Amino acid sequence: METYIGKPVKRREDARFLKGAGKYTDDIKLQGMTHSAFVRSPYAHAKILSVDTSAAEKAEGVVAVYTGSDACGTFGVPCGWQVDFKNGETMREPLHPLLAKDKILHLGEAVAIVIAETLELARDAAELVQVNYEALPAVTCPKKAMEPSAPKVHDQWEDNAAFDWCIGNDRAEVEAALANAHHVTEMTYKNHRVAPNAIEPRSYISDYDVNADKWTLYTSTQNPHLVRLLLCAFALGIPEHKVRVVSYDVGGGFGSKIYHYTEEALLTWASKEIGRPIKWTSDRTEAFLTDAHGRDHIVHSKMGFDADGKIVAHLTDEYCAMGAYLSTFAPAVPTYLHGTLFQGVYTTPLIHLNVVAPFTHTVAVDAYRGAGRPEATYLLERIISKAAKEMNMDPAELRYKNFIPPFNGTTEPGYQTQVALQYDSGNYHGVLKRGLEMLGYEDFRKEQAEARKNGKLLGVGISTYIEGCGIAPSAVVGSLGARAGLYEVGHVRVQPTGKVSVFTGAHSHGQGHETVFAQFVADKLGIPMDDIDIVHGDTDQVAFGMGTYGSRSLAVGGSAIIKSVEKVLEKGAKIAAHKLEAAEEDLEYAEGKWTVKGTDKSISFGDVSLTAYVPHDYPEGVEPGLDFSSFYDPTNFTYPFGTHIAVVEVDADTGKVDLQRFVACDDVGNVMNPMIVDGQIHGGVVQGVGQALLEEVVYDGEGQMVTGSYMDYAMPRADDVPMIETDRTTTPCPHNPLGVKGAGEAGAIGSTPAVVNAVVDALAHLGVTDIQMPVTPQRVWKAMQN
């Protein structure tokens, strides 16, 4: 019998993608479908003095034009997470309107939608909408936004703070420990803003069926049920059972397609107004201006060490931009997804993080691959490497000295951090040791010393990260401000012929669920993968779900499926026992059949399935059918960890960084499909490398975006990066049935500081101690001049 878990099974979804037969939202055409274009603000902050749509309404092919003065102007999209001020004041939560009515709060905010027979005509007519603005001064930097003189984003509050927050030990205690520390390392920097840039732009089609009084929203989302819930219960107040949300193939998300966006709600509202389907697909300019961005923290941090190099205390203050409005998960990102990881993989006894989260005249900041954890990791891994240099210690040695000792989370307890979490299991020594071996660390240091003699600038950077993912126990996140549960749903429907349909609330937009989920279901049921179909992305088919983000699909979604598989086997055993005239406890299940122990009497899964649906000869009191749905609410987050090591050469003349090697040893718990895990690591690493070396959203003083196209926003291309050298250690997650931890974000979390550490290491002998990311040639060259 062929088994699948742990094997590099080729993906079943690939054939359609490779033949150009994927079904992305923009590929869908509906009968009578209209197209839409938005009129967007060219200012970051402005009063709307007047909007004249008369010419547009009369233009060829125009079906309707709506502005913030129409009924849709009363609706707004909600925020899904509440973080109140430290003093108890409720989080400031502005209405996020579907169309701006009186005021523009960020560049690209929509003022009007033009709906027409074709996209061309919609675009033409959108140009005819006359908007008079009075431009106002804007603030885009989160720290400047808190200065008393800063322009206010929302007039109703006395300053720009959306909330403030802290976590960890008493601040005074941490400050005292720093005052007494043998050595204190300090850093001030910006974890700069980046744009997610899924290559598929956001795309929506809303279709209102007047006879059924029912909407279908086709959307490029990572979480169809969540969008439906937010759309129905909050944004529009329409009945949830009358809305079907469909998300077929989605061309990458990286967080940016989690959120419920204004355009989804507006199209849904408008399709009922006009009684026809409406499509909108973002163009790349709109993607830069309106997709939620990532990061944007201004950081000031101090870490204290004793004479032996042990960390004694860590204190950090941050200003974290929210943007003009609060996006779906935005308040959670710089707080519960960030501060809770400040323990890192170290035994730091005293930690305090204070966060001020201001509104800014920019598009919203929300979760982007890693969400809060890359920012935490960047801080910890940069400051430790900086400290090692200052204390004249090897950066690996300093890490070894401070690691939390190994623990398996079963016979040994989990590790209780100073910042609320309890780690599940970990062996941080193991990944660093293996990573250094993979690199040949000792030899590299020799090579580096030799190279330096010849004026060649080689550097190595280490990062040992931990992340909290598999989000998350509902009760925990509820107590932290989440307005939703974060369980997952797995439904296993065994068909009468023994074929199996699995419905999952997780959503694949590149992760390969159709393959991986079928792998473990096949193994658990002892049947071929070909007998299993994985269904996702349609609220009419899948009971419920919270979607895919936070590296949760397998740990949470997979576990929900396992629960249903177990229910199938439990009921199947009852039927099998009846058919075999044996006691249930005398049966064993293996290789797709129930066998009476010690005999050759058996009944196959297929026969039991058929019996369940043709229950002529059937156990008393047992319902027909073999169909189970389960909700799995995890008992803890999962905590993958790893070591990432970068080797760079800096061109002494130009400052250009050449990433020569990248070594990643990750521990993501048990691995279902190593091919896919490696792929996730490769992609995550390169996104993290992108932030370190290339990517940056730049706004100018007026809030105009300087980097709003691929001509100015630099993303990694194939020749910017080397092959990624990967390996793994395996420390199973002790609290979910598959022992998995999650791999989607790890690459992006560990890699960024490794690269910057390497660049700083290459220049350390020149007195360079830090360089602001992205470490562009210009920044590196300037650092070398000082």
Partner 1 sequence: MQISVKINGKTYDHDIEPRISLAQYLRETLNLTGTHIGCDTSGCGACTVHVDGAAAKACTLLAVQVDGCDIKTIEGMANGNEMHPIQEAFKDNHGLQCGFCTPGMVMTAADILKNNPNPSEEEIRHGLEGNFCRCTGYHNIVKSIQQAAEKINA
Partner 2 sequence: MIPAKFDYIKASSISEAISLLDKHGDDAKLLSGGHSLIPAMKLRLSRPEVLIDISGISGMNSITEDGNEIVIGANCTHADIVNSDLINSDLNILAQTAKHIGDIQVRNRGTIGGSLAHADPAADYPAVVLACDAKIVVEGKNGGRTIAATDFFLGIFTTAIAEDEIITSIRFPKVANGNYQKFFQSASRFAVVGVAAVKEGNSVKVGVTGVAGTPYRATAVENAYSGSSDAALHAVDGVEDELMSDHFADEEYRAHLAKVMVKKALEA
58 binds, options partner 2, partner 1, none, Cβ within 5 to 8 A by partner type: none
Q: Residue 548: CB partners within 8 Å, gap ≥ 6?
A: 222, 223, 253, 506, 507, 508, 509, 511, 513, 557
**Cβ 410 to partner 1 shortest distance, Å:** 32
Q: How far is the CB of 7 from partner 1 (least distance, A)?
A: 13
Q: Residue 180 or residue 778: which is nearer to partner 2 going by CB?
A: 778
Quote the strand ranges of 247-334, DSSP E.
278-281, 297-305, 311-320
Does 249 bind partner 1 (CB under 8 A)? Our answer is: yes
Cβ contacts of residue 730 below 8 Å, gap of 6+?
A: 667, 669, 670, 671
Owner of token pair 């895990």: 677
List binders of partner 1 among 703-742 (CB under 8 A).
709-711, 715-719, 721, 723-724
> Which of residues 5, 7, 17, 485 is near partner 1 by CB under 8 A?
17
x/- letters, 392..411, toward partner 1 (CB under 8 A): --------------------
Q: How far is the CB of 523 from partner 2 (least distance, A)?
A: 44
Dihedral Cα 238, 243, 249, 251, nearest 10 deg: -10
In terms of Cα–Cα distance, which of 65, 478, 506 is closest to 247? 506
To partner 1, the closest distance from the beta carbon of 459 in angstroms equals 21
Backbone φ and ψ of 712, nearest 5°: -130, -20
176 three-state secondary structure: helix
Candidates 15, 449, 706, 766; binder of partner 1 (CB under 8 A) is 15
**Residue 679 interaction partner, one of partner 1, partner 2, none, beta carbon < 5-8 Å per kind:** partner 1
Asked if 328 and 82 touch (Cβ cutoff 8 Å), the reply is no
The residue among 125 and 341 lying less far from partner 2, judged by its C-beta, is 125
106 in Cβ contact with 323 (< 8 Å): yes
Whose tokens are 């003083």? That residue is 701
127 binds, among partner 2, partner 1, none (CB under 5 to 8 A by kind): partner 2
Residue 425: helix, strand or coil by DSSP?
Answer: coil
- Two tokens at 522? 């096949």
Asked if 679 is part of the footprint of partner 1 (rule: CB under 8 A), the reply reads: yes
Residue 676 interacts with partner 1 (CB under 8 A): yes or no: yes
712 binds, among partner 2, partner 1, none (CB under 5 to 8 A by kind): partner 2
Q: Does 205 bind partner 1 (CB under 8 A)?
A: no
**Minimum distance of partner 1 from residue 379's CB (angstroms):** 24
Question: Judged by CB, which is closer to partner 1: 19, or 453?
Answer: 19
The minimum distance between CB 360 and partner 1, in angstroms, equals 25
Chain contacts with partner 2 (rule: CB under 8 A): 119-120, 123-124, 127, 283-285, 653-654, 656, 694, 696, 698, 706-707, 710-715, 720, 776-778, 781-782
Report the partner that residue 706 touches, choosing among partner 1, partner 2, none (CB closer than 5 to 8 A by kind): partner 2
- Least distance to partner 1 from the beta carbon of 722, Å? 9
With contacts defined by CB under 8 A, name the span among 11-19, 36-44, 493-501, 554-562 that binds partner 1.
11-19
Would you give the binding string for partner 1 spanning residues 103-132, x where CB under 8 A is met? -----------------x------------
Binding partner of residue 723 among partner 2, partner 1, none, CB under 5 to 8 Å per kind? partner 1
Q: Which residues contact 110 (CB under 8 A, 6 or more apart)?
A: 38, 39, 40, 41, 98, 99, 100, 262, 263, 266, 290
137 binds, among partner 2, partner 1, none (CB under 5 to 8 A by kind): none
Buried b (16+ CB within 10 A) or exposed e, 126-142: bebbebebeebebbbbb
Minimum CB distance to partner 2, residue 63 (Å): 17
Among 678, 696, 745, 761, binds partner 1 (CB under 8 A): 678
Nearer to partner 2 by C-beta: 212 or 718?
Answer: 718
CB closer to partner 1, 134 vs 710: 710
Asked if 24 is part of the footprint of partner 1 (rule: CB under 8 A), the reply reads yes
Going through 396-537 in order, the beta strands assigned E by DSSP cover 415-416, 422-423, 457-466, 488-494, 500-504, 532-535
**Minimum CB distance to partner 2 smaller for 392 or for 454:** 454
Strand 351-358 and strand 488-494: pairing? unpaired
- 3-state SS record for 755-785: HHHHHHHHHHHHCCCCCCCCCCHHHHHHHHH
422: number of Cβ within 10 Å: 13
Query: Residue 684 CB, nearest distance to partner 1 (Å)?
Result: 8
Residue 59 CB, shortest distance to partner 2, in Å, is 12
E strand or H helix at 648: strand 641-650
The pair phi, psi for residue 399, each rounded to 5°, is -70, -50
Q: How many residues bind partner 1 (CB under 8 A)?
A: 56
Helix (H) or strand (E) holding 662: strand 657-667
Question: Using CA atoms in the order 195, 197, 201, 202, what is the torsion angle rounded to 10 degrees?
Answer: -50
CB 396 within 8 A of CB 768: no
Going by C-alpha positions, the residue among 598, 187, 658 that lies closest to residue 385 is 187
Give yes or no for residue 509 binding partner 1 (CB under 8 A). yes
Cβ closest to partner 2, residue 35 vs residue 45 = 35
Decide if residue 512 touches partner 1 (CB under 8 A). yes
CA–CA gap between residue 449 and residue 415 (Å, rounded)? 39
Is the preceding omega at residue 774 within 30 degrees of 0, hence cis? yes
Rounded alpha-carbon distances, angstroms, from residue 619 to 498, 512, 573, 600: 19, 39, 11, 22
**Minimum distance, C-beta of residue 8 to partner 1, in the bound complex (Å):** 8
Binding mask 682-701 for partner 1 (x = CB under 8 A): xxxxxx--------------
694 binds, among partner 2, partner 1, none (CB under 5 to 8 A by kind): partner 2
E strand intervals along 343-414: 351-358
Q: Residue 29: name its binding partner from partner 2, partner 1, none (Cβ under 5 to 8 Å by kind).
A: partner 1
Binding residue (CB under 8 A) for partner 1 from 510, 557, 734, 737: 510
Q: Number of H helices and number of E strands within the chain? A: 18, 28
The CB-of-723 to partner 2 minimum distance in angstroms stands at: 20
Crossing angle, helix 605-613 and helix 559-580, to 10 degrees? 80
Which is nearer to partner 2, 442 or 700 (by Cβ)? 700
Chain contacts with partner 1 (rule: CB under 8 A): 8, 10-11, 13-22, 24, 26-27, 29, 120, 197-201, 249-252, 254, 283-284, 509-512, 675-676, 678-679, 682-687, 709-711, 715-719, 721, 723-724, 747
